[in-house]
Structure 1
Amino acid sequence: MQGFHVQKNMFIQKNKEAQDVTEMFLKSLRISVLNRMTVQRRIVDLSGDIVDQLKEKSKQFVYFSLATDESTDVTSTAQLLVFVRGVTEDFSIHEELVGLSSLKGQTTGSDLLNGLLEQISVIELDLDKLVGISTDGAPAMIGKQNGLVQLLI
């Protein structure tokens, strides 16, 4: 009977230690939870920092090319994606997403061009260094008279 009480006391002691550790862990979680406005501000700060880094990198490009794609999301809003691939003087290649913009109304070549120019102006790309553009071949992208590529060149 004595052994049973010793085991019971040891179980109670271990259980109390586990509860103490659990409570400390939960308290630390409560402390580390951030206000939603703080999280939002940090995301905006990180986003601005990424844009600044891309601006600095793009200033080093000797030449660059663009890849664009337009698609419509589930809410029937057209989205334009723009990627840049640039090469620096020491032949290092950098590829980054420039941005995603929502297009209002139709997706004509001029609408796509406006969205593209808006995005590349954010990172201050010099169009004189543009050597190529790739698209998915849609008429709004490569149309002979009013396609994005024709309007860009």
Structure 2
Amino acid sequence: MLKAVEIVCPENLQAFANISLTRNTVADKIYDLSADLDSQLERKVKSFIAFSVAIDESMDITDVAQLAIFIHGADGTLTVTEELVPITDTTAAADIFTPLVSVLDRLAVDWSCAVSLTTDGATSMIGRKAGVVTKFREKVQTANGGWDFWTFHCILHQEALCCKALKMDNVMKVVVQTVNFLQSRGLNHRQFDSLLREKDHNYGLPYHTEVRWLSRGAVLRHFFDLREEIEQFMAVQGKRVLEFQSTEWMQDLAFIVDVTEHLNNLNKMLQGRNKLMQYYDSV
């Protein structure tokens, strides 16, 4: 149609270009793209002389459990391919192992070429009797005649656990209570923002949430940078933070600000594609 319009009535070309495709046409195009990606992946897998698998189970924005399967294959150069499949809404070992094997079988992998499996270290993953790691190792060693098979705890999850282990509750308790007082009440929030604008600060305090542990570094950095304004505002509100007068507490605050900032930067360096060979250097 667009080719014809270019000749017959070119002035109406944009109107025709804006016509939406039918839902069936869109669905067909998506299916064709998916099938093409699968065929490309199958061709790559056939060239692997060795491959490792990393898996991570999480929830998507629609509250559906998703299993991310990352295949790292070696064929002379390091080729990294990724496959994402949905699993059921439970996280038992069988619910993870079955779709994992199904995806790899669909790609026609040579099980004897599997050399390692990386997980997040959850109990359902590493259980000695029925964990995913145990079942996966048994399947691979059946295919390769009992050769060594390695398992690893994901470096990203280890780094996250290290950060969560650095609690320093004497600092975090005061910071969280103060931030909640400033942010959770509308009047306090508006008045504090007004104070910051008067002092030409172009940012405020973010919320802290334990679920997203990386928020800790951002909250602490802003809290430290705005410590004078926070101390002034809390005193006016009759909620004086006595810890601001303690040199030892301020040193602890400065220390945890620096440490969490380093951990946040490290976490960002470890994320992204094609960084497998840089992980060790980053740490």
| Fold similarity call, TM over 0.5 | yes
Distance 2:16 2:119 in 1: 50
| Counterpart position of 2:34 | 47
Aligned pairs for 1:1-153 (under 5 A) are: 24-30=12-18, 33-73=20-60, 76-88=63-75, 91-104=76-89, 106-153=90-137
Q: For 1:84 and 1:93, how far apart are their aligned partners in 2? A: 11
Q: Relative to 1, partners in 2 of residues 1:75 and 1:42: Cα closer, same or farther, differing over 3 Å?
A: closer
Aligned letter for 1:92? T
Aligned-residue offset at 1:77: 3.4
Query: How many angstroms does 1:121 deviate by?
Result: 1.4
- Structure 1 residue runs of 5 or longer lacking an equivalent are 1-20
Q: Which residue identity does 2:92 align to in structure 1?
A: T
What is the aligned partner in structure 2 of residue 15 from structure 1?
A: none
The superposition leaves residues 108-149 of structure 1 with CA deviations (integer Å, 9 ceiling, x where unpaired) of 212211011011112111211100111111111111111100
Q: Judging changes above 3 Å, is the alpha-carbon distance between structure 1 residues 30 and 71 closer, same or farther for their aligned structure 2 residues?
A: closer
Contact residue 110 and residue 151 of structure 1 kept, 8 A: no
Q: TM-score, normalised by structure 1?
A: 0.75
* Larger helix percent: 2
1:42/1:75 CA distance change after superposition, 3 Å: closer
Shift of 1:68: 0.1
Name the % identity: 34
Q: Distance in 2 between matches of 1:74 and 1:50?
A: 24
For the aligned residue pairs, the C-alpha RMSD in angstroms reads 2.1
Which one has the bigger strand percentage? 1
Q: Which amino acid aligns with 1:136?
A: D
Shifted more, 91-100 versus 57-66: the winner is 91-100
Structure with greater contact order relative to length (CA < 8 Å, sep ≥ 6): 1
Mapped to 2, the partners of 1:29 and 1:75 lie a distance apart of 32
Match of 1:7 in 2: none
- Aligned-partner residue type, residue 101 of structure 1: P
Q: In the aligned structure 2, how far is the partner of 1:58 from the partner of 1:26?
A: 43
Cα distance in 2, alignment partners of residues 36 and 76 from structure 1: 25
- What is the aligned length? 129
Structure 2 counterpart of 1:6: none
